[in-house]
């Protein structure tokens, strides 16, 4: 990773050691950035042969990593979603391990789905969560379990995550050449590098006593999928995809896809960016997609 790339990120202090539980899309990218800043990072995946896996952790399997293999960890980031029964896979299996570590900060990647539907209005951390989808109800239960764990927790609530090799550029090929349009509907997003940047910024702030329990990490510009896909098409010099009205598209949508379109909210990042002073690397989808283009292979 080029030196210039890591310039904007705030490094962890010397002798820190970060444990990333569930180094999938976000975890892998965050690990790369934090390693490039000179901090030791350990990553779990469910399969030891998966890229970037330092050790195996699958909450559904009996084997657990030894406590010795996880010693001296100072910071933890859990990227593992709730189990189907609503329990947190990390807390149910690894809490005793975590309690033995000299932890300074534990981050939990949650979702802004916990806010439910605001009918397009802005939503901040001050809004009481009103999850409507079963997966968001499970998510809120996991947040609450982390808060009650006694660990030095901070909850990072994320909207749609995109980044290199997982963005509207790739979605264009999968969109069967069409864009779904639902007037008034917007989605919030965050570029994966801003999850890393914001997490590092927040860790730094906690050392100065600024420790809000919950922080939204979103860009400045919630917008429609149509705008994002049109911009992706422009970057790829492709014709603009055909627009299909939502009412028509509904008929062939999976229940999961449908559940995303049921909720409409704009996620406020005021706490992160104004009160805590984080500068987004990618304040909107245009900047983010231009970055993703560097990694795009058609
Ligand atoms: N994708 C989005 O747009 C979005 C939006 C908001 C919030 N989130 C949440 O933010 C977090 C990170 O998102 P992401 O897209 O980076 O997720 P991801 O790529 O799907 O990574 C999830 C990680 O959790 C691990 N995992 C899943 N179930 C597990 C279990 N039972 N035991 C142990 N490990 C398990 C996976 O293991 P493997 O590496 O072996 O697959 C993977 O490393 C997730 O909790 C996600 O739900 C995602």
User: Is 228 a domain residue?
Assistant: no
Domain of residue 43, CATH code: 3.40.50.720
DSSP string, 225-259: HHHHHHHHHHHTT-PPPEEEEHHHHGGG--HHHHH
User: Is 131 a domain residue?
Assistant: yes
Residues of the chain with pLDDT under 70: 1-2, 174-177, 298
- Mode of pairing for the β-strands spanning 178-181 and 17-21: unpaired
Helix (H, G, I), strand (E, B) or coil at 78: strand
Q: Is the CB of 111 under 6 A from ligand 1?
A: yes
- Span 40-70, pLDDT tens digits: 999 999 999 999 999 999 999 999 999 999 9
User: Is 128 a domain residue?
Assistant: yes
Pocket probe mutation, ligand 1, options 19, 20, 21, 22, max atoms within 8 Å of Cβ = 22
Report the predicted TM-score, pTM, of the whole model to 2 decimal places. 0.97
Nearest CA to ligand 1 atom 47: 81
CA distance 250 to 232: 23
CA distance 36 to 152: 25
User: Is 176 a domain residue?
Assistant: no
| Overall size of the chain counted in residues | 298
In degrees and rounded to multiples of 5, residue 99 shows phi and psi of: -65, -20
User: Is 259 a domain residue?
Assistant: no
Which domain, by its residues, includes 205? Answer: 3-162+190-219+266-281
- Tell me how far the alpha carbon of residue 66 lies from the centroid of ligand 1, in angstroms: 22
Q: How many domains does the chain have?
A: 1
User: Is 82 a domain residue?
Assistant: yes
User: Is 297 a domain residue?
Assistant: no
- Tell me how far the alpha carbon of residue 248 lies from the centroid of ligand 1, in angstroms: 31
List own/partner pairs for 238-241 with CB under 8 A and 24 or more apart.
238/172, 240/179, 241/172, 241/175, 241/177, 241/178, 241/179
- Tell me how far the alpha carbon of residue 234 lies from the centroid of ligand 1, in angstroms: 30
Q: Is the CB of 212 under 6 A from ligand 1?
A: no
Q: Is the CB of 47 under 6 A from ligand 1?
A: yes
- Tell me how far the alpha carbon of residue 256 lies from the centroid of ligand 1, in angstroms: 16
pLDDT of residue 178: 81
pLDDT of residue 297: 84
pLDDT of residue 212: 98
User: Is 209 a domain residue?
Assistant: yes
């Amino acid at each position: 990773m080029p030196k210039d790339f890591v310039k904007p990120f705030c490094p962890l202090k010397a002798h820190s050691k970060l444990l990333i539980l569930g180094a999938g899309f976000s975890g892998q990218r965050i690990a790369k950035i934090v390693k490039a800043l000179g901090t030791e990072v350990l990553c779990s995946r469910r399969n030891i042969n998966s890229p970037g896996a330092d050790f195996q952790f699958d909450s559904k399997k009996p084997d657990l990593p030894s406590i010795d293999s996880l010693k001296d960890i100072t910071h933890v980031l859990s990227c593992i979603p709730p189990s189907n029964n609503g329990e947190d896979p990390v807390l149910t299996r690894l809490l005793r391990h975590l309690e033995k570590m000299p932890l300074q900060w534990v981050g939990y990647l949650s979702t802004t789905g916990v806010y439910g539907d605001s009918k397009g209005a802005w939503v901040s951390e001050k809004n009481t969560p009103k999850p409507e989808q079963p997966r968001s109800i499970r998510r809120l239960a996991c947040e609450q379990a982390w808060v009650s764990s006694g660990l030095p927790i901070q909850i990072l609530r994320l909207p749609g995550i995109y980044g290199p090799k997982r963005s509207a550029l790739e979605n264009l090929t999968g969109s069967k050449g069409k864009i779904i349009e639902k007037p008034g509907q917007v989605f919030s997003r965050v570029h994966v590098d801003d999850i890393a940047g914001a997490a590092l910024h927040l860790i730094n702030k906690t050392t100065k006593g600024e420790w809000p329990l919950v922080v939204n990490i979103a860009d400045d510009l919630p917008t429609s999928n149509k705008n994002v896909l049109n911009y992706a098409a422009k970057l790829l010099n492709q014709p603009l995809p055909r627009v299909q009205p939502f009412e028509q598209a509904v008929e062939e949508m999976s229940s999961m896809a449908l559940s995303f379109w049921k909720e409409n909210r704009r996620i406020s990042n005021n706490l992160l960016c104004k009160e805590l002073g984080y500068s987004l690397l990618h304040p909107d989808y245009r900047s983010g997609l231009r970055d993703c283009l560097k990694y795009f292979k058609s």
